Structure 1
Amino acid sequence: MTGIRLLIVDDHPVVRDGLRGVLGAQPDFVVVGEAADGAEALTVAGHVAPDVVLMDLRMPRLGGAETIRRLRERLPAVRVLVLTTFDTDQDVLPAIEAGATGYLLKDVPREELFRAVRAAARGEAVLAPSVAGRLLDRVRGPRQATLSARELEVLTLVAQGCGNREAAARLFVSEATVKTHLLHIYGKLGVSDRAAAVAAAYERGVLGR
């Protein structure tokens, strides 16, 4: 089978069925297994060798963060994309620290989910906007205002009024990549949206006046 191999881990059968139907309909995805909890996920993953594991966090027997840690120990190449309804520090930080590649909420639009799965398979960090700022503050330590060359390019285009799609086209990257750069920019500048990022960048001299 070709395509991105997916393992779906959720203790609700209806959620697993829905994800299997939505993801399995994509030509570049192959759902190779399902699990109802963390312990089962470890067993199934060992048999089917997924590329990406979509995982809920609060499950019976073995919780998400511990499952992520054990998965990463046993299958270092696997990418874990958390898909949950919880976005508190108590949920987000342990999951990322355990080795999750990304963290999304279950209200994510399906096209965003598809892009996130593809990005995770490439090893790119994927974060829900509602958790990104807090995560960056806590996990990355003190804020830094120094932007990378690519982040500066993205922020310059945003300051010029470009949306994510236009910025992606100009930089020849995906929209998901632009969004990831923006999340990094927000964390470094200590802001939570595009307008505040531009204002902070001008104020600190990151962008020319």
Structure 2
Amino acid sequence: MTLSVILVDDHALVREGLARLIDSAPEFQVAGQGACLADGYSLLAKQHDLLVVDVSMPDGSGLSLARYAREHYPNMGIVVVTMHNDDETLLEALDAGASALVLKSDPSDDVLYAVRQAVHRPRSFVADGLSDALRRRESSSKPRLTPRETEVMASLLDGASVSQVARSLYMSESTVKTHIARLYDKLGVHNRAALAMAAVQHGLVPNSARSAQQAALTA
């Protein structure tokens, strides 16, 4: 059974090169090509097995087409091709529901491997460097604090005691302690000095470096 493929890339040479490569595999046939997102949406209106789309397009991001294809054709394989070798593009392709991401500089065998994986496992995602990118995203993700937690943390970083925080924010000391416990849990710390360093690391308090140093010294 021959699998139908559509290509969307605004660079004719790249698109034609991909078409020749994919057509060289006996199980695939390139059924349509487009040079912009508008072409891509028109091509998707017909039944196809695989979409290969570039990221940088003249009328928007190819990732929006990938996202649309995943929402409307859940079993379609989607391969994103790009010249951008960075975490942001890779993770955006993952979040858009792509099946694979390959670089335009990758060897032909790697491209065909990604295409085959996308067809057979459309809801999975393969890309070189994926695990490292996910690890970097996890380590750099900023904890989400409530407005009240932010106020309590700011007071702590200014060196205030629990009782002083309670008075300044019109809270009971037990409530302040509850907020502190939640702050420690969200930031993965166990004392005020570590809280100060984590706050600076994650950029949670504007201009906090001086206050953080003071808090660490008075902890």
Tell me, yes or no, whether TM beats 0.5: yes
Among all aligned residue pairs of Structure 1 and Structure 2, give the percentage whose two residues are the same amino acid.
29
Local SS of the residue matching 1:76: coil
Provide the alpha-carbon RMSD of the alignment.
2.2
CA contact (8 A) 1:4 1:28 kept: yes
How much has 1:81 moved relative to structure 2?
A: 0.8
Which whole-Å deviations, capped at 9, do the CAs of 1:136-162 have from their partners, x for residues lacking one? Answer: 5437999xxxxxxxxxxxxxxxxxxxx
SS of the aligned residue for 2:5 comes to: strand
Segments of structure 1 that go 5 or more residues without pairing to the other structure are 143-209
Aligned residues: 139
User: Residue 77 of structure 2 contacts residue 98 of structure 2 at CA under 8 Å; is this kept in 1?
Assistant: yes
CA spacing shift, 1:140–1:122, aligned 2, 3 Å: farther
> How big is each residue's C-alpha offset from its partner over 1:150-203, in whole Å with a ceiling of 9 and x where there is no partner?
xxxxxxxxxxxxxxxxxxxxxxxxxxxxxxxxxxxxxxxxxxxxxxxxxxxxxx
Matched, 1:121 2:125: no
Match of 2:80 in 1: 82
1:184-195 equivalent positions in 2, closer than 5 A: none
Q: What residue is the counterpart of 1:112 in the other structure?
A: 110
SS of 1:100's equivalent in the other structure is coil
Deviations 1:60-91 (A, max 9, x none): 11311211111112212112111111022332
Which aligned segments of 4 or more residues in structure 1 are displaced greater than 4 angstroms?
139-142
Over alpha carbons, which structure has the higher Rg? 2
Residue of 53, 56, 60 corresponding to 2:54: 56
TM-score for both structures, normalised by structure 1 = 0.60
Residues 14-53 of structure 1 aligned to structure 2 (within 5 Å): 14-47=13-46, 49-53=47-51
Q: Which of 58, 63, 66 is the matching residue for 1:65?
A: 63
Aligned equivalents of 2:138, 2:6: Cα separation in 1: 27
- Which AA in structure 2 matches 1:59? M
User: Post-superposition shift, 1:28?
Assistant: 1.0
Three-state SS of the structure 2 residue aligned to 1:55 is strand
* Contact 2:4 2:29 (8 Å CA) reproduced: yes
Is residue 37–residue 63 contact of structure 1 (8 Å, CA) maintained in 2? no
Inter-CA distance 88–26: structure 2 relative to 1 (3 Å threshold):
same
Amino acid at match of 1:26: A
